[in-house]
Chains A and B, each alone.
Chain A
Amino acid sequence: MEQKKYWQSFGELNDSEAYQQSGKDEFQEQLPFEADNKGLMEAVTPRRDFLKYLGFSTAAAAVAASCEIPVKKAIPFANKPEDIVPGVANYYATTYVQDGDVLSVLARVRDGRPIKIEGNDLSPIYKGCTTARAEASVLDLYDTARLRFPTVNGKEVTFDAADKAVAAALGNVGAAPVVILTTSIVSPTTKEVIAQFLAKYPGSRHVTYDAVSYSGLLLANEATYGKRAIPSYRFDNAKVIASIGADFLATWLSPAEFAKQYAPNRRIDEKNPQMSKHFQFESVLSSTGASADERFLCRPSEWGAIAVALLGAINGQGVSGIADKKLAEGIEKTAKELAANKGQSLVVCASNDVNVQIVVNAINEALQAGGKTIDWTATINNRQGIDTEFAALVEDMNAGKVGALLIHGANPAYSWFAADKFKSGLAKVNATISFSAKEDETTSGCKIVIPDHHFLESWGDAEPKTGYFSLIQPTIYPLFKTRQWQDSLLKWSGATTDYLGFVKQYWIGKLGSESAWDKALQDGVINPAAEAPLTAGAFNAGAVAGAVSAVSSAKKGGKVELVLYQKVGIGEGQGASNPFLQELPDPITRAVWDNYLIISPAKARTLLDIDLNNNGQADKYETVPAKKVVKVTVNGKSIELPTLIIPGTHPDTVGIALGYGRSEKVGKAAKNVGKNAFILAALKGNTVDFTASDVTLELTKETYEVALTQTHNRYDTAQGNRTEVVKEITLAAFKHDPEEIRREREAELKPFGGIENYEKEGTIYPVYERPGIKWGMSIDLNACTGCGACVVACNVENNIPVVGKNEAMRYHDMHWLRIDRYYSGDMDNPNVVFQPMMCQHCDNAPCENVCPVAATNHSSEGLNQMTYNRCIGTRYCANNCPYKVRRFNWADYTGADSFPDNQRGEVDDVVLNMNDDLTRMVLNPDVTVRSRGVIEKCSFCVQRLQDAKLKAKKAGRPMKDADLDVACKSACPSDCFTFGNVNDKESDIYKARTQNPNRIFYALEQIHVMPNVSYLAKVRNSDEPAHNGGQHHAAPAAEPAHHG
């Protein structure tokens, strides 16, 4: 049987020249020692240069040595608060809330500074996970671009003066209504505060605006269930899942919650292998699509038709109205599986078209999803905006019918497709008041600005799902002269209490006592006493027939169509000012710091004249950052963007990420990054359509550089021989022959003693004992969805520097943990495997042997230790690392050198901005800030391991799993990491390894580096035959499995 080929880059697929070269060079460039790029000895005057450098370094050393040791002060508290111990972190339960997105979190506070966000285990919705955006939000607190005081007409004023200005402005509105414009409000108390305010100004109203709206879904539910709400989707109860364009594991509605539900059904019990089946119909490859078992390409204009066809097929009328044969077959197959699992299946759709969503509702009804995989008891409150209401507001504003506009969260001047119209309307409103924490596009047009607190400075509550509450408490005293916007509203509505008092009173009223409130605040969440039974909505099928005919008669798409999608980090643009999120590689494209036009390899042939199967052309496209720029025109509006060729894109569809092209006033990270694609959306019917069915593409002569990290870390395996790194098997094959992977490993290691004796017999080195603890990690490739929460968590925990676009383009990215994306199979619609890759902490590490100064060596607990202060920067270790996980500090990214500001002009402004005194408050004081010229890499969060051990020692008992949590593991929404002490037979890691003898494998096992990170092979629930093994035996071998 032919081996399946895994590839990260087109060069690897084709075994191109550039690819072969890249295997030889660990580093893509020479040391910038001389301008002519020659080494020192080839320079024109080597001897003199040598003496110059010698003289300089001697002089520098002498100067440094003669400096007096600075006198440092130690200033204790005047009155030490009882619960604060300097040097020991406190955790406060609070809630991450941003524009309707909610996550119950714990803020880790060290010496008064929140420095890390962790999930709150007590939340039954999020179950202790985080997201990339929530992890990065702690940096937003220390953002230098935050507004630091209230302003009236751009001038700093006191709160009193601002209040007076507001009172005057609101007194002047006359009969014209006051409008509060917000994003979706999930806080019950804030809703009451708004109601109080509105009561004070009769005729005024509250308008909810979501940048990427779910109006279609809300209105469809109103039409079919009589409720303008979104039910809870229960992916945990679904055996068969079909998604039409919905990226529900990364960006759709409530991704953290969904990932937490989805993952357990994807993990496999080896003794009884079963998993859910996931079909994805989409136009541009998303991380959800990458996780799907079967993925079908479609145009966005076909989403409705697919829904109708699915409905028909489930109802036994067969698939109709689908021209594409592959797609039609896919729909038929999906419908069959869905129908066979009624009550255990679920269909979701990303469309914002009311009719399409009505059809999807009808499908779910037909699948008897109500009360099983769809729950109407607890509705999801994350999105409440209705597009027409906002469109009406814009009309009113332009007609001069709005007296005052109070804006919180919403940023339509950026994210409304007709932003100019909104801006002109804004100028016509007499009193414009913004509560934005930053001077975003909308705030720039407002007269009075009273900046809101960051959520880590705020009081409040949130109700992400009906009946499930999460409380917000401040974790730091407000850094600037900011005020919670609810406080402002209360003040202006004449209330005597402040918002804290309001929240407290509200909850003491609900909970019965102050002590119950204290307890709730400590827990961070208030849950129903018992989970209410799931209920189905009362379905009104009246609208379905109309919707089906409306969808069927909808205009067919043009030649090329467009999907506007969101990236997991940037979202609707909230993440654009956060350097951690900008530098988080997109799970699929692996690009950072930009948005771009995604096209298919087929389209590349016609549009760009690049044939990726042609070696020379693929290399030319792939090896340089400069990409051809294409002008995209939709309805007369156009933007120019560089193009990336991404397999898995529908040939006639292109994709652009939203959230880019923001004003640089929201942060240095947003400066000149990407283009705003919101302008390409349009109001279609009564909802905003984030797809476009008729797009013109026009190749320009320009090129634009995009920083792609996918080709940065090339392993030296034979071309295409990735089965040594990633192992994948289908569920059918696994059931048929569970030991295939194990047998393959056994055969490979046979000459060296087989799996059991490989460690001892595969080497001439002695085998060392690990008497106490031996750390190990196991990663379940089945569960990983590539969401990137772990990557950001790692960055924040370990003070990993941001390097900026230019450095990233030069292969200088610093992430300790990366998520490798592998394609396999058909280039037009490949399978994708995500593989988190970090230092494997090899017991027989090749990096350790080559370090001339022993800066990297092994610990008795199995850690591959990196000692920064010993490192002299030879980079031999990085060169010798088979996994390419070692990172070199090419520049002084962190400002750790003795000479401040020495990197100005050398690195991007955003990197320098990370060295601002304010931004540096985010640094973890337990982890060294590395300076230029040293190597760094994953340490298994050794600071946390040491802490866990110390905790156990102080308690005088052995260390347990509960004592420790590494950053990536605690962040992961799909629990794909297991970490712990392998020597402890009670530990999860021991169990993970021993209970999965048939799926466990080690990357590049055959080179005998003995990694301490093991992987569990990816199992895909598809009918494709097995394709992993070299020798494929018809039946399992007679030899019994030896569970070691």
Chain B
Amino acid sequence: MIHLSRFAGKLIFGFTLAFLLQLGNGAFAQDGKALFSANCASCHSVTKKSTGPALAGVEDRWPDKKMLHAWIRNSQAVIKSGYPYAVNLYNEYKIAMNSFTSFSDADIDAILGYIKTEAAKKPEGPTNPDGPVAESDNSLLFGILTLVLAVVAFILLQVNSNLRKLADDKDGIPAQEPVPFWRNKTYIAFVAVILFLVGGFFTVKGAIGLGRTQNYEPKQPIFYSHKVHAGTNQINCLYCHGNAQESKQATIPSVNVCMNCHMSINEYTGKDKLFNAEGEEVNGTAEIQKLYKYAGFTPGQPWDASKATPIEWTRIHNLPDHVYFNHSQHVAAGKVQCQTCHGEINKMDEVKQFADLSMGWCINCHRTTQVQFKDNGYYSIYEKYHENLKNGKFDSTKGITVEMIGGTECQKCHY
């Protein structure tokens, strides 16, 4: 019987731990989407006609899939070849499409696949933009379960002790004075241990979290909506944050980049109303006027760029000084999507910090993310790894992760 109670104790402890160690996790990895937003989105929308045609159903429209691939790679060549569909298309829009000679068939299929799923998703146009997405967090369920089990265990222990007392009575062993459970040393010790563990967990978690600013969403000098720009209007992230491909800093675009478009776009005419973090409605046109103030621009008159003054944005993502982070490493070499670290920025009005930017978060990603092992010539020097991949010593579905080439070593980020 004593064994049983020990077992029950362990069980409860185990459940408690399981509850405590519950961690939420989320990942984004959608190749086609990435390629689409990086390369196509500045001229095409899936559902709307913009610079180029809406792409929903594009595969059905093209008579020959091969020609579609050729068109995407180099549209001019296809037009020159006199392919009738291509010529018609060009005559309709009169704008030559950029060529993407570096795309592989797989790339293009991924993009087309994405377009297909996206088109199927939104049969009746833009829908349900807002509304909190229900998070599938099972913590509560586990908590209730743990509590129920704890109560059951407690009752069982009580029953056990009563039964033992009965058995003892039967055997004629003199019964001891019954100790009420709140004075039972075992229980007291048990509760103390639980309290210590729970308290310790939260203290340590709090201490580790010092200086971290997940979900930080400061008020910015201009209510700039990423949702409107990157979401609704599908502007490629790199159009404004182009430095992310070249530099360690992605950088906030300068005023002249804003003015590239806003010289002509001087009012907000979007269907969706804009709301700030407090839920108050924001007048988009008034925000554009704020930009004009910084730019020193009066609509209708020529703009003198030298009159512009910089905008003092509040910095959201802050890394400590002893961390070296390079955007171009991740964006250009690693081909990581912006959303992987910044969340679904195309759905945020004002930007908030998506990840906690902790070292554990970085490391976890480095452990699981594959490098562009086969596509990037840099990795050709890892001859042994290539061999191992070929002869099956390495799991080719897992590929070569960042960790395997030393991506979790200290001096990859700290120097």
On A, residues with C-beta under 8 Å from B are 65, 69, 71-80, 85-88, 769, 771-773, 857, 859-861, 863, 865-870, 926-929, 939, 942-943, 946, 949-950, 952-959, 981, 983-984
22 A/B residue pairs, CB under 8 Å, sorted by A = A71-B315, A72-B314, A72-B315, A76-B253, A76-B255, A76-B313, A78-B256, A78-B294, A79-B256, A87-B248, A87-B249, A771-B384, A771-B405, A857-B409, A867-B411, A868-B322, A870-B410, A928-B414, A928-B415, A943-B415, A958-B380, A959-B378
**A771 to B385, Cβ gap below 8 A?**
yes
A493 and B191 CA atoms in complex are apart in Å by 93
**B247 to A772, Cβ gap below 8 A?**
no
Segment of B49-57, B224-232, B324-332 in the binding face: B324-332
Which residues in B have their C-beta under 8 angstroms from that of A772?
A: 379, 381-382, 405-406
A55 and B381 CA atoms in complex are apart in Å by 55
**A86 to B251, Cβ gap below 8 A?**
yes
Asked, given contacts A86-B251, A863-B411, whether A65 binds B210 with beta carbons under 8 Å apart, the answer is yes
Query: Within 8 Å of chain A (Cβ to Cβ): is B252?
Result: yes
Partner of A859, one of B248, B322, B333, B409: B409
Which residues in B have their C-beta under 8 angstroms from that of A80?
A: 253-254, 256-257
**B328 to A950, Cβ gap below 8 A?**
yes
Chain A residue with Cβ nearest B247: A87
Query: Within 8 Å of chain A (Cβ to Cβ): is B76?
Result: no
Partner of A79, one of B305, B311, B312, B385: B305
Chain B residue with Cβ nearest A72: B315
Asked, given contacts A73-B315, A865-B409, A959-B378, whether A87 binds B243 with beta carbons under 8 Å apart, the answer is yes
Chain B residue with Cβ nearest A73: B312
For the complex of A and B, 8 pairs with smallest distance between CB atoms:
A87-B247, A953-B333, A860-B406, A78-B308, A74-B315, A77-B254, A865-B411, A80-B254
Which residues in A have their C-beta under 8 angstroms from that of B415?
A: 926-928, 939, 942-943, 946
Asked, given contacts A69-B213, A861-B406, whether A78 binds B411 with beta carbons under 8 Å apart, the answer is no
Query: Within 8 Å of chain A (Cβ to Cβ): is B412?
Result: yes
On B, residues with C-beta under 8 Å from A are 207, 210-211, 213, 218, 243, 246-249, 251-257, 294, 305-306, 308-315, 318, 320-322, 324, 326, 328-329, 332-333, 375-382, 384-385, 405-406, 409-412, 414-415
A13 and B126 CA atoms in complex are apart in Å by 86
Chain B residue with Cβ nearest A926: B324
A926 and B415 CA atoms in complex are apart in Å by 8
In the assembled complex, the CB of A16 is this many whole angstroms from the nearest CB of chain B, namely 40
Partner of A950, one of B211, B243, B333: B333
Asked, given contacts A72-B315, A78-B309, whether A867 binds B410 with beta carbons under 8 Å apart, the answer is yes
A867 and B320 CA atoms in complex are apart in Å by 14
**B249 to A928, Cβ gap below 8 A?**
no
In the assembled complex, the CB of A873 is this many whole angstroms from the nearest CB of chain B, namely 15
Which residues in B have their C-beta under 8 angstroms from that of A939?
A: 411, 415
**A943 to B251, Cβ gap below 8 A?**
no
Which residues in B have their C-beta under 8 angstroms from that of A65?
A: 207, 210
In the assembled complex, the CB of B86 is this many whole angstroms from the nearest CB of chain A, namely 31
In the assembled complex, the CB of B192 is this many whole angstroms from the nearest CB of chain A, namely 23
A772 and B381 CA atoms in complex are apart in Å by 6
Which residues in B have their C-beta under 8 angstroms from that of A866?
A: 411
Chain A residue with Cβ nearest B218: A71
**A86 to B255, Cβ gap below 8 A?**
no
Partner of B410, one of A72, A865, A957, A983: A865
A928 and B385 CA atoms in complex are apart in Å by 33
A949 and B379 CA atoms in complex are apart in Å by 10
A769 and B254 CA atoms in complex are apart in Å by 47
Which residues in B have their C-beta under 8 angstroms from that of A72?
A: 314-315, 318
Asked, given contacts A939-B415, A949-B378, whether A929 binds B321 with beta carbons under 8 Å apart, the answer is yes
Chain A residue with Cβ nearest B258: A76
A342 and B410 CA atoms in complex are apart in Å by 58
Partner of A869, one of B314, B322, B328, B405: B322
Which residues in B have their C-beta under 8 angstroms from that of A863?
A: 411
In the assembled complex, the CB of B402 is this many whole angstroms from the nearest CB of chain A, namely 12
A773 and B378 CA atoms in complex are apart in Å by 11
- 14 A-B pairs besides A860-B409, A863-B411 with CB distance below 8 A are A65-B207, A74-B315, A78-B305, A79-B255, A86-B247, A87-B249, A769-B384, A771-B405, A772-B406, A865-B409, A865-B410, A952-B378, A953-B378, A984-B381
Which residues in A have their C-beta under 8 angstroms from that of B380?
A: 958
A870 and B308 CA atoms in complex are apart in Å by 45
**B247 to A85, Cβ gap below 8 A?**
yes
Chain B interface, >50% SS class? loop
A955 and B380 CA atoms in complex are apart in Å by 13
Chain B residue with Cβ nearest A983: B381
Partner of A953, one of B252, B309, B329: B329
Partner of A74, one of B313, B376, B409: B313
A859 and B411 CA atoms in complex are apart in Å by 8
A344 and B405 CA atoms in complex are apart in Å by 53
Which residues in A have their C-beta under 8 angstroms from that of B321?
A: 928-929
Which residues in A have their C-beta under 8 angstroms from that of B311?
A: 75-76
Chain B residue with Cβ nearest A939: B415
In the assembled complex, the CB of B333 is this many whole angstroms from the nearest CB of chain A, namely 4
Partner of B405, one of A71, A73, A86, A860: A860
In the assembled complex, the CB of B199 is this many whole angstroms from the nearest CB of chain A, namely 17
Which residues in B have their C-beta under 8 angstroms from that of A773?
A: 381
Chain A residue with Cβ nearest B295: A78
**B315 to A88, Cβ gap below 8 A?**
no
In the assembled complex, the CB of A962 is this many whole angstroms from the nearest CB of chain B, namely 15
A102 and B233 CA atoms in complex are apart in Å by 56
In the assembled complex, the CB of A37 is this many whole angstroms from the nearest CB of chain B, namely 33
Asked, given contacts A74-B313, A77-B310, A868-B414, whether A69 binds B382 with beta carbons under 8 Å apart, the answer is no
Which residues in A have their C-beta under 8 angstroms from that of B385?
A: 771
Chain B residue with Cβ nearest A70: B318
In the assembled complex, the CB of B277 is this many whole angstroms from the nearest CB of chain A, namely 15
Asked, given contacts A69-B213, A928-B415, A939-B415, whether A954 binds B251 with beta carbons under 8 Å apart, the answer is no
Chain A residue with Cβ nearest B212: A69
Which residues in B have their C-beta under 8 angstroms from that of A77?
A: 254-256, 310
**B310 to A78, Cβ gap below 8 A?**
yes
Centre residue among B247, B322, B326 by max chain A CB count within 10 A: B322
Chain A residue with Cβ nearest B320: A869
In the assembled complex, the CB of B152 is this many whole angstroms from the nearest CB of chain A, namely 40
**A857 to B384, Cβ gap below 8 A?**
no
**A76 to B254, Cβ gap below 8 A?**
yes
Centre residue among B326, B376, B411 by max chain A CB count within 10 A: B411
A927 and B315 CA atoms in complex are apart in Å by 22
**B377 to A76, Cβ gap below 8 A?**
no
A87 and B327 CA atoms in complex are apart in Å by 10
Which residues in A have their C-beta under 8 angstroms from that of B207?
A: 65
**A76 to B326, Cβ gap below 8 A?**
no
In the assembled complex, the CB of A576 is this many whole angstroms from the nearest CB of chain B, namely 33
A799 and B318 CA atoms in complex are apart in Å by 22
**B313 to A85, Cβ gap below 8 A?**
no
Partner of A954, one of B313, B320, B328: B328
In the assembled complex, the CB of A380 is this many whole angstroms from the nearest CB of chain B, namely 41
**B310 to A75, Cβ gap below 8 A?**
yes
Chain B residue with Cβ nearest A867: B410
A774 and B385 CA atoms in complex are apart in Å by 15
**B414 to A957, Cβ gap below 8 A?**
no
In the assembled complex, the CB of A955 is this many whole angstroms from the nearest CB of chain B, namely 8
Which residues in B have their C-beta under 8 angstroms from that of A870?
A: 410
Which residues in A have their C-beta under 8 angstroms from that of B252?
A: 74, 76
Chain B residue with Cβ nearest A959: B378
Asked, given contacts A857-B410, A860-B405, A958-B377, whether A943 binds B324 with beta carbons under 8 Å apart, the answer is yes
Which residues in B have their C-beta under 8 angstroms from that of A771?
A: 382, 384-385, 405
**B312 to A75, Cβ gap below 8 A?**
yes
Which residues in A have their C-beta under 8 angstroms from that of B310?
A: 75-78
**A942 to B409, Cβ gap below 8 A?**
no
Chain A residue with Cβ nearest B243: A85
A72 and B318 CA atoms in complex are apart in Å by 8
In the assembled complex, the CB of B408 is this many whole angstroms from the nearest CB of chain A, namely 10
Which residues in B have their C-beta under 8 angstroms from that of A867?
A: 410-411, 414
